[in-house]
Amino acid sequence: MINSIRSVRKAKGLTLDEVAARCVPPTTAQTIGRLETGTRTLSLGWMHRIAAALGVEPRDLVRMPEEETLTLAAIVDRDGAHAPARIEDIANLRPETGMVAVRFASSLGDYRFGDIIWCRRIARDAVSTVLNRDVLVPRPAGRFLFGRLLAIDGEKMQLIPLADGARQQVIAIPEWVAVANRLVRTLGP
């Protein structure tokens, strides 16, 4: 197994100090650095502590030697594309537990044919926290609605589907709703 702590930490935009402070109980940046570089053994306990501090699953912190990695080739800013200062691998992000995916078979709204949306499931009591976000809503008989959550009114939710000219839907809030969390888009053939 190869430890991916550094790439996950950098993908989250955190420093060694920030991760160390987020650990429960807190630790030092030096300890996190040693765990990242492999100069200190990454025990199961450390893996769980660091994963919680980074907001990921423990499995996201390790990879098998045969797994592909994605190397950062360039950084793009207002001045153009530049080579990174040092070699960096992009975290091999895996879906969190309970996530579901939506694939687009045609272009609708902001989404294109072939787009895949990772959606994080949330319980009905948290639905009000995702207003104005795109959501997947389960319906009876294995059907679904996908659209923008406009409002919550008591036990009802208002959703506008993505299709041009589609009418607003008012439905009972289901046991769970999945909020769009990550867009995976292929840019070429």
Q: Tens of pLDDT along 70-88?
A: 666 677 777 777 777 776 6
Which part of the chain has CATH 2.30.30.140?
99-184
- The count of C-alpha atoms lying within 13 angstroms of the C-alpha of 170, restricted to the half-sphere facing its C-beta, is 6
| pLDDT at residue number 91 | 57
Measured distance CA(119)–CA(124) in Å, rounded:
15
Q: What is the DSSP string of 129-178?
A: GGTTSEEEEE-GGG-EEEEEEEEEETTEEEEEESSTTPPPEEEE--SEEE
- pTM of the full predicted structure? 0.59
Task: Determine what percent of the chain is predicted with pLDDT higher than 70.
Answer: 87
According to CATH, the topology of domain 2-90 is 434 Repressor (Amino-terminal Domain) (1.10.260)
Looking at domain 99-184, which CATH architecture does it have?
Roll (2.30)
Per-residue pLDDT tens over the stretch 102-139: 888 888 888 888 888 888 889 989 999 999 999 998 88
Q: Are strands 89-90 and 70-71 parallel, antiparallel or unpaired?
A: antiparallel
Domain with CATH 1.10.260.40 in the chain: 2-90
